[in-house]
Amino acid sequence: MKLTLDNFDKAFENRIRLQAMSVLVANESYDFNSLKELLDVTDGNLASHLKALEKEEYITVTKSFLGRKPNTRYQATKAGIAAFKKHLEALENLIKQQK
Amino acid sequence: MKKKDLLDDLSSIKNIMERSTKFISLSGLSGVMAGVYALVGAGYAFTVLQSGKAAGPGHTYRDEVIVPLVFTAIAVLILSVSTGIWLTIRKARRKGLTVWNPVSKALLLSGGIPLATGGLVIIILLLQRHFAIISAGCLIFYGLALVSASHHTFGDVKWLGIFEVIIGLAALAIPGYGFLLWVLGFGVMHILYGAIMHFKYDREVNA
């Protein structure tokens, strides 16, 4: 069975990327360590996926210091939220097609 | 792409979104315990009040009655909060979740502002000896704090908050029933709410 992959966003093909994006859509912003705990992934893994989302300009990064500790926060961009919604619709359509 | 993968994707999004915005480790049992402490405290307070009444008219609001009542209330508060923290940490550990995260911080902040305001109002009322409306004040501010905090946890908390506010307003409207309504709001309602929460969300964790 051939499925139409219109609107299916390659940036969200990976589940960790999709999950990270969903957290940033549901929240104003989230910091790296909390995101890591929530998704239960390693530093390097999460960093590379966030980098990919950043490259697509779906998220923005703000680096600051809390005392001496670096605090990296992520925020979804308007384009990112729109792309995420479109991707969700695509997922729903795929499921409907398969019925 | 198989259908199962798609459904897994969608359910993982739903799960993560929920966990990133709602604190779900609040323990129902701690609500029951808070209610029990409140009832025990109220039982003791009742005997103190009776002794005040026995001493003659006007004695109810003397310092020898008010001071033990305030200390009883503080003891109930400390016991309830520490039991709540302990049981919540235990529940989070069992589920493999963290307790101190952006969601619990948001929960404490949104509940803490009305709660701290209420605490200060109560202290001011105590100092100015407006004893008759303290019970109503406790209930109303506590209820508002719950409604505000409920955005970051189970929706049931909002309903508990609304009921506390209604009981508080009733305590304000019907003079003389402050004590009884306080017992209803902090004792009976907590036990009821805690039991509902326990059977709705906690059972599969403890099993």
Residues of A with CB under 8 A from a CB of B: 3, 15, 18-19, 22-23, 25-27, 30-31, 34, 37-39, 88, 91-92, 94-95, 98
Q: What is the mean pLDDT of residues B5-27?
A: 87
Q: Select the residue of B7, B17, B98 nearest A23 (Cβ to Cβ).
A: B17
In a domain, A4, yes or no: no
What per-residue confidence (pLDDT) applies to B7? 84
Out of A25-29, B4-8, B10-14, B137-141, give the one with best mean pLDDT.
B137-141
Helix (H, G, I), strand (E, B) or coil at A21: helix
Q: Looking at residue B96, what DSSP letter applies?
A: T
Tokens 């859509």 found at = A25
Residues of the domain holding A76? 10-93
Angle at CA of residue B21, ends B113 and B154, nearest 5°: 75
- pLDDT > 80? residue A6: no
- Domain CATH number, residue A42: 1.10.10.10
Tell me the CB-side half-sphere exposure of residue A79, using CA atoms within 13 A: 10
What per-residue confidence (pLDDT) applies to B206? 47
ipTM over 0.85: no
In a domain, A65, yes or no: yes
User: Total domain count for chain A?
Assistant: 1
Instruction: Using an 8 Å CB-CB cutoff, list chain B residues near A37.
Output: 98, 101
In a domain, A2, yes or no: no
